[in-house]
Each structure stands twice: as structure tokens, then as C-alpha cells.
């Protein structure tokens, strides 16, 4: 392939590779759905989980749509029809990635449980392929939507800068869905989980996923709406924003068509690398953690080779930024840093959250390049709820203990993989947020007509930084309170059912699972509104103090938000696996004082790792995107 081909057809190639990703996603869908779904009892339980997940997402879409209509009108007024159209594209694609991925995940769970009766590797393959559907949908739809929208806008005769600016609407659409998906799904899953544990385990001494617990089905539904639909929307948004940011940086710093094409080519080639990594997990038989980590490593190695070739082909003479010359080799090193950081995040988080390493055992005693591998990394995240649900189905369907042993082992690996991907998402969000901050500065300077600086001697900047630094803490506190309120509703319902029908505990009566699902759905949707509106309130309020103060808010939010998000997700994952470590028979095992303490600690760690921590990620980017969009109105209001 000659170098000139990439220069003239790079975006078209990226779009074609995104279509290839979609094709493979649908091949995996067919493979997962075609697997053995087990006996009648297993399919009955799986069907209840599917119905609950579908009902929740449908009601969430209706609730978010009302807010989206208002935001759509505001974007049209502020930025015009093209940006508003981008908003719709981003929102729809984000929803589609999460919705389709989740509906496959709730079908993969029962098939994973059945495969576990054959072998551990068979169960691993089914669970991973179910997760890989979500991973491929995220990157393929992200690249396809950004690439096609950019070419369509350019096709109208718009200048490259105007076409890139219109992509801000696409970023906002995906961000809006991401915040609500993360918040609503996170509140749902942890309210059901905490409520089920507090009554089932601590009060009634029931095991995990005991069918006598009325909140069991709601708990399994929550795993999917939080960690499949929520995570997919989250990383879709981060992927799209990072790609848009990379294109913007290339245009602003280099100003050539090659610099705009380059990020698209990297993302397209990374799909090939992700497909090879997925193939590794399927065809190379290894222990679960080793298989998944090696799959990511293989993808990274293949991606680095493809990045080396494409960088040399697109920039044979290097580039010039101002007076500084940058060789193609140095450009490749920049891309390689992102790949290395991805592998480091996987390795470090695995060490601090896995039951096989010292930190968890001590507790039982007591970006464009980085985002390019999203296809396989997000496969690891969706793997978690699938294996968790598989274990639940195995217990409720009365499958042999040997099956539950395999699903428990995979679930522990899944918890670590979820922690890995949450750390990955938050770290990449930090890079995306920095790019968005740069875009905010560039747009502000273009609007005011002169250079803008954020001087620490300017009291407005300092005030803004303090306010921005406060926002992640206030936001996460509202998230934790929301989980507590929703979990309280679950606790009351479980107690009511057990009191009204004592036969539930003996097996004489059947719990009303649907009632718990309905209660958690209503509570989650109601509780997510206030925290979701906090970024909007802060940005609008601070903008009247001046654009310098708003810039300070962005900086403060990025800095504290990253540390809060990473610490919450990692600590929560470690607490969860510490509980599992004790349940394996260590420190007295189930029913011991250590186990009771671990369950109590997990009720804090769960909303840490699955609600508050992950939701910080889209919150940071929403603040930055809103700041960019509000520049025209806020500047006029301040100057008056």
C-alpha cells in the first residue's frame, strides 16, 4: 500500500475497518447466541434477568430523552444545526453500543454457566466473546460515527476547522448518555447488591445469589445495566472525545490534512490488533487471568507494529510544529507511550485488586493511542458481569458445586478485569479532558480575539480551581447517597416479603422478584437526576464570574477528579475481592467475624467501584464540553 493511499484515503480506510469490526461483532453475537443455554430452569432464570434489564433500559431511555430534547434545542441555538445533528448521532450511537452489548451479555450469562459444566476454558470463551461484542461495538460505532460525520460535514463545503468544531456536538451527545448510563446503572446495581447483601447475608445468613432472596434477580440485572450498558456508554464517549481531540490537536498544531487523517488511521488499525487479541483468547488455552492479559498484550504488540508502519507512511519527512521539527520516529514514540500506558494500567490494577497478590490479602486481614485498544480492553469489563451472572444462575438452578467453583474463579478474575477497565477509562478520560481544556482555550481566544492566560495570581482562576476541585467530591457524595437511598428501598422490600411470606426462607413460597426489580428501577432513575445536573449547574454558575474562573474550574475538576475516580474504583475492587478471598476459606471463611466485616466493607466498596468512581469519568468531560459550548453566551453576559 503506497504512502499516498493513506494520505488520500485514510479516513475512508478507517471507516471500512470500523465496518469490519461491526461484522466481527455480529459474528460473535451469532456464536454466543448459538451456544447451549442449559436446562429449562436455567433459561427461566436468564429470561427474568433479560426482562428486568430490558425494562430498565427502556425506562431510562424515556427519561433521558426528555432532557436530551432540551439540550438538543440549546445546542442548535448556540452552535447551529450541524453541531446539533452531531449531538443526536453521538447520543444514538452511545445508546446503541450499550443496549446491544448488554442484551448479548444477558444471553451470554446462562451459556457461560452451561459451558462451565464442560470446562473452565469453555466458560471463559463464552463469557469473553459476550464481552467482546460490547468492545467491538464501542470502537466500531465510535470510529464510524466520527469518521462519517466528519466527511459529511466536509462534503457540505465546510472548512476543516468548522467540521471539527461541529464534532463537539457529537461529543456532548455521547457524554450526556454516558453520565446518565453510568449514574443510573451504577445506582441500580449497587442498590440491589447492597440491599440483597444487608438483608440476605447479614440478617438471614443466606449465601450469595440464594434464590430465596427476593433481590437476587434485581442484583443480577444490576450487574448488566451498570457494567455492560454503563461502561459501554462511558468508553464510547471517551473514545469519541479522544478521537475528536486528536483530530483537533493535529489541525491546530500542524495544520495539514495528514495530521487530521493520522488519528483516524491509528484507530482503524487498532481494530485489527483488537481482533487478533480476541482470537488469542479464543484459540490459545491458558489460565483465565493470563489469557485475558496476554490477549491485551498481543493486541498492543500488533498495534505497535501497525502504528510504526502507518506513521512512517503518512509522515515520511516528519512534521514541523512552529520552528520545531519532529521526525516520524518521534511521532511513533508518542503513539507507543499510549500503548505502554494501557499495558501498565492493566498490570498495576491487576496487582492491587487480584486475590492472587498481597494488597488484597492484607485487606482481608484488615489516550488516542491509549484509547485505540478499547475494543479488547472493554471486552474484559463486560466479561465481569457475564461471569457474575453465570455464577448466580448456577446457584439458583441448583447446578453442581463444580460448576459454581469454575464460575466463582472466573468471577474473581472478572472483578479484577472490571477494576482494570475502570482505571483505564478514567486515565484515558484525563487525557481526553486535557485535550478538551486545550480546545476551550483555543475557542475562547478565537472568540475574544486575543491570547488568554490563566495566571495563578489572578484571584478568579484560583477561586475557580477551588470550586472545580470541590465538584468531584460533591458529585461522588451525591452518588453514594443515591445508592444508600435506593438500597434502603430494597432492604425494606426484602424484609416486607420475608415477613409477609415466612415460607420464602423454607422454599415453600416463591419471592416476588419482579417487585424488587421495579422498585430498584424507579429508585435508580429518580436518584440519578440531581448528581447528573451538578456539572451543568456549576459550569453555568461559575461562567458568570468570568471565563478565567471557568478555566480554573476545568483544571480543578480534572486534577481532583482523576485521583478520586481511580482511588474509589481500585479500593472498591480490592474490598470486593477481599471478601471473596475470605469466602474461599481464609481467615475463618464464610460466617466468621472476618467475613461479616468484609461484607460490611464491601457495602462501601461496591458503590465506590461501580457507581461513584466510574461516574467521575464522564462528569469531568461533561464539564469541559459544556464550558466550550457556553463560551458565546457566557462571554456576552460577563461583558455586559
Q: What is the pLDDT of residue 20?
A: 94
Q: What is the pLDDT of residue 144?
A: 93
Helices 401-448 + 81-116 axis angle, to 10: 170
Q: Is 34 exposed, middle or buried (0-12, 13-18, 19+ CB in 10 A)?
A: exposed
Structure confidence by residue, pLDDT tens digits, 320-370: 666 667 677 777 777 776 666 665 655 554 444 444 444 433 333 734 555
For residue 325, list its beta bridge partners.
Answer: 320
Cα separation, 125 vs 122, in Å, equals 5
The residue count for the chain: 640
Q: What is the pLDDT of residue 226?
A: 73
This prediction's pTM: 0.78
* CB neighbours of residue 316 within 10 Å: 10
R_g over Cα of the chain = 24
Q: What is the pLDDT of residue 326?
A: 67
Residue 394: closest CA among 96, 640, 38: 38
Cβ(172)–Cβ(71) below 8 Å:
yes
DSSP character string of 99-148: HHHHHHHHHHHHHHHHHHTT-HHHHHHHHHHHHHHHHHHHHHHHHHHHHH
Q: What is the pLDDT of residue 347?
A: 52
Query: What are the backbone dihedrals phi and psi of residue 546, each rounded to the nearest 5 degrees, phi first?
Result: 125, 155
Query: What are the backbone dihedrals phi and psi of residue 2, each rounded to the nearest 5 degrees, phi first?
Result: -70, 155
Q: How many helices (H) and strands (E) does the chain have?
A: 20, 2
Cβ(464)–Cβ(608) below 8 Å:
no
Query: What are the backbone dihedrals phi and psi of residue 208, each rounded to the nearest 5 degrees, phi first?
Result: -60, 130
Query: Low-confidence residues of the chain, pLDDT below 50?
Result: 349-364, 366-367
* CB neighbours of residue 507 within 10 Å: 9
Residue 514: closest CA among 52, 39, 31: 52
Q: Is the backbone of residue 587 left (phi > 0), alpha (psi -120 to 50) or beta?
A: left
Q: Is 358 exposed, middle or buried (0-12, 13-18, 19+ CB in 10 A)?
A: exposed
Cα separation, 473 vs 477, in Å, equals 6
Rounded to an integer, what is the distance from CA 45 to the centroid of its chain? 27
DSSP character string of 299-356: HHHHHHHHHHHHHHHH-TT-EEETTEEE-HHHHHHHHHHHHHHHHHHHHHHHHHH-TT
CA 17-20-25 angle, 5° bins = 130
Amino acid at each position: 500500500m503506497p504512502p499516498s493511499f493513506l494520505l488520500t484515503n485514510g479516513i475512508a480506510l478507517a471507516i471500512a475497518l470500523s465496518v469490519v469490526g461491526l461484522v466481527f461483532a455480529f459474528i460473535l453475537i451469532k456464536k454466543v447466541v448459538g451456544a447451549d443455554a442449559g436446562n429449562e430452569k436455567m433459561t427461566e432464570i436468564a429470561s427474568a434477568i433479560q426482562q428486568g434489564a430490558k425494562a430498565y433500559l427502556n425506562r431510562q431511555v424515556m427519561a433521558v430523552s426528555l432532557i436530551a430534547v432540551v439540550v438538543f434545542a440549546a445546542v442548535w441555538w448556540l452552535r447551529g444545526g450541524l453541531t446539533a445533528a452531531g449531538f443526536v448521532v453521538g447520543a444514538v450511537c452511545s445508546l446503541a453500543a450499550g443496549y446491544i452489548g448488554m442484551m448479548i451479555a444477558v444471553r451470554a450469562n446462562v451459556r457461560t454457566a452451561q459451558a462451565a459444566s464442560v470446562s473452565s476454558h469453555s466458560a471463559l470463551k463464552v463469557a469473553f466473546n459476550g464481552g467482546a461484542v460490547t468492545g467491538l461495538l464501542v470502537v466500531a460505532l465510535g470510529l464510524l460515527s466520527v469518521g462519517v460525520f466528519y466527511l459529511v460535514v466536509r462534503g457540505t463545503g465546510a472548512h476543516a476547522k468548522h467540521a471539527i468544531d461541529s464534532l463537539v456536538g457529537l461529543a456532548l451527545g455521547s457524554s450526556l448518555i454516558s453520565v446518565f448510563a453510568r449514574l443510573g446503572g451504577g445506582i441500580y446495581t449497587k442498590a440491589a447488591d447492597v440491599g440483597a447483601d444487608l438483608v440476605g447475608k447479614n440478617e438471614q445468613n443466606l449465601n450469595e445469589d440464594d434464590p430465596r432472596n427476593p433481590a437476587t434477580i434485581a442484583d443480577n440485572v444490576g450487574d448488566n445495566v451498570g457494567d455492560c450498558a454503563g461502561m459501554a456508554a462511558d468508553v464510547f464517549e471517551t473514545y469519541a472525545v479522544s478521537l475528536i481531540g486528536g483530530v483537533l490537536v493535529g489541525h491546530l498544531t500542524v495544520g495539514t490534512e495528514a495530521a487530521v487523517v493520522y488519528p483516524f488511521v491509528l484507530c482503524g488499525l487498532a481494530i485489527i490488533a483488537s481482533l487478533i487479541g480476541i482470537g488469542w483468547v479464543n484459540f490459545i488455552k491458558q489460565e483465565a487471568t493470563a489469557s485475558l492479559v496476554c490477549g491485551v498484550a498481543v493486541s498492543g504488540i500488533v498495534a505497535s507494529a501497525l502504528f510504526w508502519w502507518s506513521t512512517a507512511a503518512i509522515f515520511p519527512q516528519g512534521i514541523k510544529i512552529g520552528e520545531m521539527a519532529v521526525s516520524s520516529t518521534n511521532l511513533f514514540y508518542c503513539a507507543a507511550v499510549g500503548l505502554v500506558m494501557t499495558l501498565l494500567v492493566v498490570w498495576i490494577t491487576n496487582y492491587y485488586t487480584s486475590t492472587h497478590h498481597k494488597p488484597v490479602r492484607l485487606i482481608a486481614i484488615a489516550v488516542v493511542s491509549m484509547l485505540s485498544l478499547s475494543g479488547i480492553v472493554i471486552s474484559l469489563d463486560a466479561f465481569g458481569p457475564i461471569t457474575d451472572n453465570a455464577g448466580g444462575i448456577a446457584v439458583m438452578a441448583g447446578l453442581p458445586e463444580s460448576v459454581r467453583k469454575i464460575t466463582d474463579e472466573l468471577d474473581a478474575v472478572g472483578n479484577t478485569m472490571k477494576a482494570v477497565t475502570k482505571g483505564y477509562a478514567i486515565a484515558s478520560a484525563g487525557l481526553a479532558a486535557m485535550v478538551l481544556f486545550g480546545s476551550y482555550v483555543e475557542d475562547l481566544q478565537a472568540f475574544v480575539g486575543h491570547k488568554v492566560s490563566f495566571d495563578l495570581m489572578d484571584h478568579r482562576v484560583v477561586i475557580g480551581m477551588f470550586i472545580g476541585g470541590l465538584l468531584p467530591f460533591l458529585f461522588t457524595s451525591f452518588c453514594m447517597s443515591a445508592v444508600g437511598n435506593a438500597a434502603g428501598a430494597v432492604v425494606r422490600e426484602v424484609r416486607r416479603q420475608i415477613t409477609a411470606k415466612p415460607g420464602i426462607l423454607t422454599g415453600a413460597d416463591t419471592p416476588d422478584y419482579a417487585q424488587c426489580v421495579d422498585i430498584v428501577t424507579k429508585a435508580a432513575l429518580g436518584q440519578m437526576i440531581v448528581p447528573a445536573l451538578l456539572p451543568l449547574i456549576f459550569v453555568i454558575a461559575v461562567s458568570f464570574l468570568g471565563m478565567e474562573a471557568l478555566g480554573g474550574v476545568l483544571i480543578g475538576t480534572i486534577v481532583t477528579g482523576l485521583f478520586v475516580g481511580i482511588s474509589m474504583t481500585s479500593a472498591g475492587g480490592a474490598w470486593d475481592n477481599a471478601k471473596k478471598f475470605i469466602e474461599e476459606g481464609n481467615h475463618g471463611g464464610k460466617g466468621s467475624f472476618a467475613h461479616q466485616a468484609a461484607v460490611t466493607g464491601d457495602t462501601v466498596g461496591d458503590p465506590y467501584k461501580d457507581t461513584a468512581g466510574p461516574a467521575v469519568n464522564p462528569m469531568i468531560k461533561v464539564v469541559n464540553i459544556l464550558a466550550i459550548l457556553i463560551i458565546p453566551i457566557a462571554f456576552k453576559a460577563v461583558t455586559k
